[in-house]
Structure 1
Amino acid sequence: MNGFERRTAKIKQRIKQATLELLMDMDPRTLRIADVVARANVSQVTIYNHFGSKEKLIRESVQSWYIEILEATRAYLQDDTKSFQDKVAFIIFNKKTTLHQFSISKLDTLIWQDDEMKNFVEEIYHNQALPLTLELIEQGRKEGAIHHNFPSSLIMFYLNLFMEKAEALTDYAKNYGDEDAFIEDMMQLFFYGVAGKS
């Protein structure tokens, strides 16, 4: 990558970062290019030259954000020094951290109401996220953390029950007093149910 390409990449990254920051507090439909111009300190011409339209700018910004989260997750899940329990905690509470940026309803607007974004997310899920999850489940079996009779589909369903409640977990954690204790208790509940560890 030459100097011009590096400068172009930095400008595009700055514009996408500004867009994401604005989207954290703003409905995508009300976001204006003028808002991004002010936040990123670039001209409208620069934005249109790099992205073409507001819709493409939002789409590319969210896709970059999504890939960044996936790569951080992949790095953690493929770390051989982490136990199955460590990785499950990371998945559940990394999702919680993600929702500090975007609520479920906003993610719904940004992803599932845009056919291109929907196709992007579904492709990422099938080609990358699903294989990572199956590798994690296999690690859980090897460590004796998953009963050998439980099929992978059931374990994935169980994981998703917790992940789908990430927004509620975020709200509940605020009133729990001690976030570390909350995470520990949630992991006890995840692995041992309401009866606790025997």
Structure 2
Amino acid sequence: MRKYKVAVTGCGRAGVNLHIKTYIDMEEIEVIAVCDNNQKRVNQVGKKFGIGKKYTDFNLMLSEEKPDISVICTPPSLHKAVFDASIQAGCHILLEKPSASSLEELEEMIDLSKEYNKKIMVNQNYRWTQDTVCAKKIVEKGLIGEVYRVEIIDYTWEEKDPTNSQWLSGLHQRWLFEQGVHWFDY
């Protein structure tokens, strides 16, 4: 069985809780390096998960470690820069949502992946949750009749002052792109 070398950029909540914690237990994946612009945080994550290679510069990480897959968990405003460097370094990409800060950026990213013949995937983790899979089956089987309207009330985490969160700052229409994307994915 092939073991894929994975490098994760962004050691915040999504990078650690949704990605690194999962990959550590997967036989077919080896997390070879982590990167974050916060030296203290990247050192803590590396120590906690036994990842020896820790970086604060994603370009340096990509050139030195040569991962098969680059997992991008940075704030959306940084996705394009990390994406471009990762594709040019020969990596396939798993990208946290929202994938880009604009439609133009997204189109450029898609074009670049085609040019380099690399696969890209946006992480839509809600798609695979037990309740979502069950609800989808119920609708597909017609057990509740024809669905003609859906109303969603979503109580989610959010900084009271979004300027306090590096991740949320600069994200236009943040509810739609951060949380609403889950509901439109179905």
Q: TM-score, normalised by structure 2?
A: 0.28
Higher fraction of helix: 1
- Structure having the higher Rg: 1
Whose relative contact order is higher, 1 or 2, with alpha carbons under 8 Å and at least 6 apart?
1
Q: TM-score, normalised by structure 1?
A: 0.26
Higher fraction of strand: 2
